[in-house]
Amino acid sequence: MANKEEIRLSDHFTVSRLLRFTFPSIVMMIFTSIYGVVDGFFVSNYAGKTAFAAVNFIFPFLMILGTVGFMFGTGGSALVSCTLGARDNERANRIFSLLIYISLILGVVIAALGIVFLRPVAKLLGAEGEMLENSVLYGRIILVALPAYILQMEFQSFFVTAEKPQLGLWVTVASGVTNMVLDWLLVGILPLGLVGAASATVLSQVVGGFLPLFYFARPNASLLKLGKTRFDAQALFRTCTNGCSELMSNISMSLVSMLYNIQLLRYAGENGIAAYGTMMYVNMIFLAAFIGYSIGTAPVVGFHYGAQNHGELKGLLHKSVGIIGVFSIGMLLLGFVLARPLSQLFVGYDPELMDLTVEGFYIFALSFLFAGFAIFSSGFFTALNDGLTSALISFLRTLVFQIAAVLILPLVWGIDGIWWSIVVAEAMAVVVGALLLIIKQKKYHY
């Protein structure tokens, strides 16, 4: 049996081969999420509830600043893989190099602006007193490594396009282990609290972002190599428009998270934000599996679309729907089983907060039934270089449906309406994604 390294984008993909090829991307994204969860565990248990709430309060804003990496990674890898499918390897490498250089420069600029405007933004969102100071302290340290974080997100997609998903996994593991060990040392052993947790994250992102930079800059055995490039406005425009769905998705999720925090402050105070933070950590891990699968399949879809292999494209879609369906049911069951143990892990020190978190978790877990289909349908259109359709799904899923639900449902069900709003928004996004897949079927021949 061939090992994962021998699987090529041009291969025929059975379910087994598809799972083997995407497995490193899935584990890579899950691992990335897990070490973020470790941050939350140490902050909550060693720095306290207010510090934990502060991290979850400012985190959505920090994520917005890093979304450039998702845009260039997903949009760029789709364009590069399609170019590889058309057998123009030289242009594919020029585009790859251009995107890496531009994103590195943008990372420095965005980080500087973020550090300057962090306090006014935190105040605008409603933070005050100790939570404000903690939010600003944590955020400014994290922003120091923003260029590395942007590259890390970008390389997660490009490792798959380069036919080196396992190498991308090992880089992520190295980054994650760095974060976990330093969290244990700087927060669990040394009483550095938020400063220790933020410093651990910064150093882990440096590992995850700069190690791939050195790999691709040297002669290597992959399809991609950093080298000379020239400004290509058309390629940059196609990358941005194609990746705008992921940009929109991440910005929207962060904006919606801010709105959730505002609503939770109104209905449940600081406890509500802490409970939501616990659910979001678990949500990050579960959704990471779907995102990882979409990242793993995108270059394959892009390659076969570029090569006009319509039969393979159709098979990829049908197999993916089945795989995601099985994943979704498994995650729903796992969410029910883990609701209490995970709540205990993060907020077990506060009985009232614990009960609030568990009750919300049982409702929130229903969203896992729908999220995977919505994420994949958006990613599938990105891989086809149809950024507009992908962006429409993401825009409705992460912004329109969620904002409408979180503003309306709490008026009927109180805080339970906040948890139900996530479920309702994901279900509506699946309907939209399915309709667009049907409408676009003749155009893309899948």
What are the backbone dihedrals phi and psi of residue 205, each rounded to the nearest 5 degrees, phi first? -70, -30
pLDDT of residue 406: 85
- Beta-carbon contacts of 293 under 8 Å, excluding residues fewer than 6 positions away, are 22, 25, 26, 320, 323, 324, 327, 372, 376
* Tokens, residue 273: 């934000």
pLDDT score at 36: 66
Tell me the two tokens of residue 298.
């995108």
Residues 6+ apart with CB under 8 A from 434: 373, 377
pLDDT for the residue 245: 67
pLDDT at res. 318:
93
Contacts of residue 149, defined as CB under 8 A and 6 or more positions apart, other chains included, come to: 66, 69, 107, 205, 208, 209
Report how far residue 287's alpha carbon sits from residue 309's, in angstroms, rounded to the nearest whole number. Answer: 29
Could you tell me how many residues make up the chain? 446
Per-residue model confidence (pLDDT) at position 140: 94
pTM comes to 0.71
The whole-number pLDDT of residue 438 equals 92
pLDDT of 35 reads 67
Mean pLDDT by 10 residues, the chain (446 residues): 57 86 84 74 78 79 83 84 83 92 94 94 82 90 94 87 84 88 89 87 92 90 87 87 72 76 74 76 82 86 84 91 94 89 77 81 91 91 84 84 88 85 92 93 84
Check if the beta carbon of residue 11 is closer than 8 Å to that of residue 304: no
The span from the CA of 4 to the CA of 24, in Å, is: 9
**Sign of the C-alpha dihedral computed for residues 326, 32, 130 and 258 taken in this order:** negative
pLDDT at site 4: 42
Distance CA 57, CA 227 (A): 40
- Predicted confidence at residue 319, as pLDDT, reads 94
For residue 86, the 8-state DSSP code is T
For the record, the structure tokens of 204 come out as 């882990």
Angle at 370 between CA 381 and CA 281, to 5 degrees: 100
Amino acid, single-letter form, for residue 303:
F
pLDDT of 263: 80
**What does the alpha-carbon distance between residue 319 and residue 314 come to, in Å, rounded to a whole number?**
9
